[in-house]
Amino acid sequence: MVMRILIMNGPNLQALGRREVAIYGEKTWEDIASELKREADGLGVDLDFFQSNSEGALIDRIWQAAAEKIDGLLINPGGLTHTSVALLDALRGAALPAVEVHLSNISNREEYRQKSLTAAGCIGVVAGFRDASYLLALRGLAGYLKRK
């Protein structure tokens, strides 16, 4: 049976490659998604993708993923990382193995960005490797799911 992993991006991540390139890098989301698809093929994983600038849409998609029996979740909550108890509650409630992903090292950023509320609902966090953060998180989650 093929594993299914949902990759979710929160606010402003549709602007990768154009937005604060010195922090987030020059690759667009389309570039990163293509690399993820190639990696997933090698891992025997099917990927679904979802991006929204709306907190409610992200929460709804987490619950939908649980109902669809998605095996795992990679999530970059963007700025909601630091503010959204509701997103944390959805991650905990849906009980999907999730890995939080960040392009930048949030521990090395502005003080208000250094605390992740949503990480408490995840099995792990990968941050600071720009676009490679997604690939590392995918490999880690796929390995975790295979061992389960």
- Is 82 labeled as catalytic in the residue annotation? no
CATH superfamily, domain 3-147, is: Dehydroquinase, class II (3.40.50.9100)
Whole-number pLDDT of residue 77: 98
Q: What is the DSSP string of 67-83?
A: HTT--EEEEE-GGGGGT
Catalytic residue (one of 82, 102, 134, 144): 102
pTM of the entire structure?
A: 0.94
- Selected catalytic residue, list 24, 112, 134, 144: 24
Residues 78, 127: Cα–Cα separation, whole Å: 12
Establish whether 102 is a catalytic residue. yes
Q: What are 86-104's pLDDT values in tens digits?
A: 999 999 999 999 999 999 8
At 45 the pLDDT is 98
Q: Which two tokens stand for residue 94?
A: 């849906």
Q: Do 105 and 128 contact (CB within 8 A), yes or no?
A: yes
DSSP annotation of 17 reads T
Quick: pLDDT tens for 3-50: 999 999 999 999 998 988 888 889 999 999 999 999 999 999 999 999
Rounded distance, CA 136 to CA 128, Å? Answer: 11
